[in-house]
Structure 1
Amino acid sequence: MATLRFSFGTMGSGKSTLALQIHHNLAARHMYGLLLTKLDREGEQVTSRLGVAAPAIQVTDDLDIHQLAIQHWPLHYMVCDEVQFYSPEQCDQLATIVDDMEVDVYAFGLITDFRGHLFEGTKRMLEIADEREPLHVEARCWCGARATHNARVVNDFVVYEGETVVVGDTAGPGAQKMFGDTVRYELLCRRHYNLGELGV
């Protein structure tokens, strides 16, 4: 019986690394599957900050993932990274693929946005997944405490308002500013997130 598994965590918890590992392991056993991502910092591939990457199908806002699976039939599995950015309808399409096509789906995503709120895709995956697995690689705040928040840092200050989706990276403090604001993300514990303290 196929399963919809949702693995989630903060930045730095190994989501993309695990997604790539699962895809590699299944493909090595001569199983045919699709690797998908949305808004990866490197474009049409899944990338890990450890330096590994693989080409992936880019999930656009208008992509019907169920139809994509039908077009690639026969299919054994799908590995979906950055599902926090998928629409609720696309998440439901993943469930349909599991239920109607008996295809295992391994989905990975962030749990909350920079405001500490669930992403729409994350919320829907938590509601419908057969298995919900927090990732056990614990990222740490600069103070050493367990990191619980993905803080958005604009020009070296933590911000709490703005568009939900702004692609940035985890470049260090004082990164060179180009074309206006420098946007990056930093992992913080709840206390330092609320205080807006970056420890620099």
Structure 2
Amino acid sequence: MPELVFFSGTMDCGKSTLAIQLGHNRSARGLQGVVFTRDDRAGEGKLSSRLGLVTEAVEVTDGMDLYAHLVAELSGGGRADYVIVDEAQFLAPEQVDQLARIVDDLGMDVLAFGITTDFRTKLFPGSQRLIELADRVETLQVEAMCWCGARATHNARTVGGEMVVEGAQVVVGDVNRPAEEIGYEVLCRHHRRRMTSATAHAGALSPDVLPVTPV
């Protein structure tokens, strides 16, 4: 039976790398797929990973009907055996419904990849709808790490290295540049304390911090 599968995790846990790998595995078996993405770090119409892998993709826009797009491709003589969607958290709920229709009406597997919650620990609407509709939700096993070395569980937005908890839900940035004007960083429970790598480093160097002598 075809499935709608949601692969989720924090930023920097290898979602895009896995999306590219699964597409490669299927193409090596003679299958052809359609790849959708939105707001990728590499620019419009690209699916890229932080390891440097890049592949072409269809850029999803506001109001785009993914089901109708795929039907038009097939009606025009194109072929599609499966669908991959990266940055699926940015989809509108109705676009996730369209993915489910692709599974049900066209009999294709749809593999969606995205983060679950935003920098405020709130569910993205697209991710919420995927959790509601997916046949399976898979948590990626490649663990992103907080600056302290613990497993990262939360996504933080930073401005000049300082964590912020207000603002638009979607702002383009990258975990590779968290200290720039707008960046992102993955954190463990340090998210609750708003302690980023920059603020932790500044605190460690501050003359106001007294050294602790082990007992």
Q: Which residue of 1 aligns with 2:36?
A: 36
Secondary structure class of the residue paired with 2:95: helix
| Over 4 Å off, 4+ runs | none
1:15 and 2:15 are equivalent in the alignment:
yes
Shift in Å at residue 72 of structure 1? 2.0
- Map Cα deviations across residues 66-91 of structure 1 (whole Å, 9 max, x no partner): 01110222421000000000000000
From 86, 95, 99, the counterpart of 1:90: 95
Q: Which residue of 2 aligns with 1:167?
A: 172
* Matching of residues 92-171 of structure 1 within 5 Å: 92-171=97-176
Q: TM-score, normalised by structure 2?
A: 0.87
Q: Which residue of 1 aligns with 2:49?
A: 48
Q: Distance in 2 between matches of 1:15 and 1:174?
A: 23
1:61 and 2:62 are equivalent in the alignment:
yes
Shift in Å at residue 174 of structure 1? 4.4
Amino acid in structure 2 at the alignment position of 1:114 = F
- Return 152-161 or 67-76, whichever deviates more: 67-76
Q: Distance in 1 between matches of 2:179 and 2:118?
A: 23
Q: Which runs of 5+ in 2 are unaligned?
A: 202-215
Q: Distance in 1 between matches of 2:54 and 2:33?
A: 16
Q: Distance in 2 between matches of 1:183 and 1:174?
A: 8
Q: Which residue of 2 aligns with 1:194?
A: 192
Amino acid in structure 2 at the alignment position of 1:29 = R
Q: Distance in 2 between matches of 1:194 and 1:159?
A: 11
Amino acid in structure 2 at the alignment position of 1:125 = L
CA contact (8 A) 2:36 2:57 kept: yes
Q: TM-score, normalised by structure 1?
A: 0.93
Do the aligned partners of residues 114 and 174 (structure 1) sit closer, same or farther apart at CA in structure 2, a change above 3 Å counting? closer
**How many pairs are equivalent?**
193
Q: Which residue of 1 aligns with 2:207?
A: none
Shift in Å at residue 172 of structure 1? 4.0
Q: Distance in 2 between matches of 1:85 and 1:172?
A: 21
Question: Radius of gyration: which is bigger?
Answer: 2
- Map Cα deviations across residues 93-135 of structure 1 (whole Å, 9 max, x no partner): 0000000000110000001100011100000000000111011
Instruction: Among all aligned residue pairs of Structure 1 and Structure 2, give the percentage whose two residues are the same amino acid.
Output: 50
Q: Which runs of 5+ in 1 are unaligned?
A: 176-181
Q: Distance in 1 between matches of 2:59 and 2:99?
A: 15
Q: Distance in 2 between matches of 1:137 and 1:107?
A: 17
